[in-house]
Structure 1
Amino acid sequence: MDQQNKPGVLAVVVLGLVQILSWGGSFYLMAVMANPIVAETGWSQQWVYGALSTGILVSGLLAPLSGRIIARTGGRLLLALSGAVMAIGLVIMGLSHSLLLFMGAWAIIGVGMAMGLYDALFATLGTRYGGQARGAITSITLISGFCTTLVWPGTALLIHLLTWRGACFAIAAMLLLVLPAYFYALPNRSLALKPTAQAASAPQQDIAPSLFWLLCAIFTLASVIMTAISVQLISLLQASGYTLASALGISAILGPCQVGSRIVDILFKRGHPIWTAFFSVGLVALGLLLLALFPQLALLSMVLYGAGNGLRAIVRGTLPLAMVKPEAYAVVVGRMARPALIGQALTPLAGGYVFETFGASATMGLLCALALLNVALVMVLKQRLPARPASVP
């Protein structure tokens, strides 16, 4: 493949910034906005967070359809319109004075998430550039690794200046920049690998069912663990004897560790992505086991966990890319995204039940068991990989 047939540096930077805006206007929004919404409306916090779960669930249900559309069209227009769909959802959210309308707004945001977050972008890049997309995927996740660092303080500032409703309108306006950004970063002339209707209709010919379901299980377990830790880490640390201030300080190390691990992966990008998967699940398991057995080493455990979790997004994009043909990649990734996103949507409810019913120790034990199971699944996948060169640069 022609070496020029990959995104340029400026295009990759633009795509990374667009992902920060897209994730910040959807998945990460409620972390800062939930409390002001509850305070103003009086709605139950459980229902307010449940709206986010609704969005994730809708995104998961639509992910295979998104993959098929990308396989047929190349994905450029779908990605470009994702910002407008999220913006519509945010405007409705800002106008919501009933919980039902609020939930409906998040269903619309979920449609935008299926159109424009990592899975859709990675599918588009894989379809366009084949193995050459790996470097771009890693670089994009490196840039977007700063998402919460930028988005949470920025959202808090908008809420302070404009109230949460005004912040919804302001973020919706910024999301309109997504369309020209994608049109710039993904010009038509870059479409090196023409998508076909045949690829969109028969992805099963390009990956064995056993490998497909192994990948689904690995990605779903990784997503469930990540979501559970994101929701419950502070509570788990406090249950281990840390003060709220200490727990917040320890959790702050996750972001830099995620970015650091992605930089390391860039240095070793010519290795097969299965090794990135090994490091990812292994570091996550080691970090969680360390926290469960030696809570006094929580800082070190979060360094390990953060590094492993940072590689998770890269593995989602690059491991399937090394296993299927580029023209079928979008459909396969879309199908794989559904169970992972549905798992993410259900995790806060299930995790909350386990924590409330059985306590922090049982919750940590369950997370450690899931992490060790994921290590075993990656080992099985390694044994079953076809003995052929990966389509990586």
Structure 2
Amino acid sequence: MEGSVPKAMGRSEKPASDRRLVICTAIGQTIGWGTLFAAFPLFGAPIEAELGWTRTEFNAGLTVALLVSGLAAIPAGRWVDRRGGRWLLALGGWAGALLLAAWSQASTLPAYWAIWIGMGLVQATALWSPAMAVVVIQARDPVRAITGITFVTGFTATIFVPLTALLIDRLGWRDALLALAAMQALPGLLTLWLLPPDPPRDRARGAGGFDLGRAMRQPAFLSLAGALSAHAFIGVGLGAHAIPLLRERGLPESSVILLVSLHGPFQVAARAVLFALGRRVTMRGVGRLASALLPVAMLLLALAPSEFGWLVLYVLAWAMADGLMAIVRAAGVAEILGRDGYGAVTGALSMIAVLPRMLAPVAIALISEGEAGYGPVPWLMAGLGAIGAACFAAAAAQRSR
């Protein structure tokens, strides 16, 4: 298909099927995001109650981790380019297990924050960007492999939020963390068992003098950075504020929870359609659609009456955009910018998106406090979504030329 991700990826032989790669990465990423990210908010209340920390002090741990992960993203990407990612993913996963166990014993803020500095390094080495770099390097059909992986990872919160809540209720927060640490040991074992050995250094992608600075100055890179940063701000902002924003509309609590819960299934449905279309679509086309849906979803949120049926349309549009952009962020970067230095390039994109990810929850909270409600927030996100759509269209046009 026109503009599809090129087949040539280095000189190492590829397996006859991507099945082992997809299974390993899907399970590893679901567990990793579940234990190291999705479960985090559930520990706030019991830790604050036992240790007397404020909500700001507790959440500062995740903020520090996001900052560190952004700073470490480029070195981690370069490592995958030059040496492969098998051992990086395995060791990062095991480090995450050790840090979860250490967190279960923490009783002081300095120790807690130090643990989350380490968690930032784990996120940079064991979660999405390096894992997708490995998939892009090793897969015979990266787009279908990444789409297959996201079928499973789309249910991360659906699995780990209730599971973690149950563990905390039955075991207490400290033993719940130990249980999560035991689960987090599994991705490293799967990585070493299922993934092929890393290629020799002289055969790894990016070993031959890739110029990241030059790549980052390309208009297509800058446009992609703008598009992904807009998506990051909206995604993290809604993740932190969707429930109180919908509650403000006067909906029953059951309707609020149901609307938020529909996000995952709608995401997976959009990915299933993409998987079925296969090579009949390009990542540029998918990215244009997904980025255009972002402002549409936010306008629906701003304008829809406070009725469940209308707000389902907002959830559908937002979930489709969010679900497809996760794939575009991995496979679309390779299609638009190429595979040379893919790990370093995606690391740079992750680093740039760290600031909007960190600012979104605080900025939206400040707006809601200053305006005594969330009224302006959907309009702000619609504007950012429109900017993101324009940026992605510019990146896709650069690739077309």
TM-score w.r.t. length of structure 1: 0.92
Q: What SS does structure 2 have at the residue aligned with 1:385? A: helix
The correspondence for 2:352, drawn from 323, 339, 342, is 339
Q: Which residue of 2 aligns with 1:292?
A: 302
Give distance in 1, aligned partners of 2:129 and 2:246: 31
SS at match of 2:37: coil
CA contact (8 A) 2:267 2:320 kept: yes
Q: Whole-Å Cα distance in 2 between the matches of residues 44 and 6 of structure 1?
A: 53
Cα pair distance change 1:243/1:329, threshold 3 Å: same
Which of 68, 78, 81 is the aligned partner of 1:58?
Answer: 68
Cα 1:242–1:6 change in 2 (3 A) is farther
* 1:62 Cα deviation after fit: 0.6
- Picking from 86, 98, 103, the partner of 1:93 is 103
- Report if the CA contact (8 A) 1:87-1:176 is conserved: yes
- Pick from 367, 370, 381 the counterpart of residue 367 of structure 1: 381
The one of 237, 242, 265 equivalent to 1:233 is 242
Give the secondary-structure state (helix, strand or coil) at the position aligned to 1:242: coil
Shift of 1:5: 4.3
> Identity, % of aligned pairs?
27
Deviates more, 1:169-178 or 1:144-153: 169-178
Q: 1:183 and 1:172 mapped to 2: Cα distance?
A: 18
Determine the structure 2 residue equivalent to 1:156: 165
Residue in structure 1 matching 2:191, options 157, 178, 182: 182
Q: 1:168 deviation in Å?
A: 1.1
- 1:71 and 2:85 correspond: no
Greater shift, 113-122 or 3-12, is seen at 3-12
Normalised by the size of structure 2, how large is the TM-score? 0.90
* Structure 2 unaligned blocks of 5 or more: 1-6
State the partner residue of 1:391: none
Q: Give distance in 2, aligned partners of 1:168 and 1:137.
A: 29
Question: Residues of 2 paired with 1:193 and 1:283: CA distance?
Answer: 43
Matched, 1:311 2:320: no
Give 1:376's aligned amino acid. A
CA distance in 2, matches of 1:201, 1:84: 30
**Equivalent residue number for residue 398 of structure 2:** 384
What is the deviation of 1:345? Answer: 2.2
**Distance in 2 of aligned mates of 1:63 and 1:353:** 29
2:93 corresponds to which of 79, 83, 86: 83
The alpha-carbon deviation at position 194 of structure 1 amounts to: 2.8
Q: 1:7 to 1:168 in 2, by over 3 A?
A: farther
Per the TM alignment, residue 196 of structure 1 is displaced from its structure 2 partner at its CA by: 4.8
Residues paired across the two proteins, number: 386
The residue number in structure 1 matching 2:3 is none
Selected match of 1:14 from 3, 12, 24? 24
Residues of 2 paired with 1:189 and 1:316: CA distance? 23
Task: Could you list the structure 1 runs, at least 4 aligned residues long, displaced by more than 4 angstroms after superposition.
Answer: 1-7, 189-193, 196-201, 204-208
Partners of 2:261 and 2:267 in 1: how far apart?
Answer: 11
Secondary structure of 1:27 counterpart? helix
1:128–1:160 Cα change, 3 Å = same
1:324 is matched with which residue: 318, 334, 337? Answer: 337
2:360 pairs with 1:350:
no
Moved more, 297-306 or 35-44: 35-44
Q: How far apart, in 2, do the equivalents of 1:190 and 1:260 lie?
A: 35
The answer (yes or no) to whether the contact 1:61–1:338 under 8 Å persists in 2 is yes
Gaps of 5+ in 1: 388-393
Change (3 A) 1:328 1:40: same
SS in structure 2 of the partner of residue 97 of structure 1: coil
Contact 1:5–1:132, Cα closer than 8 Å, also in 2? no
What corresponds to 1:390 in structure 2?
none
Give the Cα–Cα distance (whole angstroms) in 1 for the partners of residues 44 and 209 of structure 2.
Answer: 39
Secondary structure of 1:322's counterpart equals: helix
Give the stretch that moved more between structures: 268-277 or 306-315: 268-277
Tell me the secondary structure at the aligned position of residue 269 of structure 1. Answer: helix
What is the aligned-residue RMSD (CA, Å)?
Answer: 2.2
Query: In the superposition, relative to structure 1, how do residues 365 and 291 fare at CA in structure 2: closer, same or farther (>3 Å)?
Result: same
Contact kept? 1:125, 1:133, Cα under 8 Å: yes
Report the CA distance between 1:11 and its aligned residue.
3.2
Residue 199 of structure 1, CA deviation = 4.5
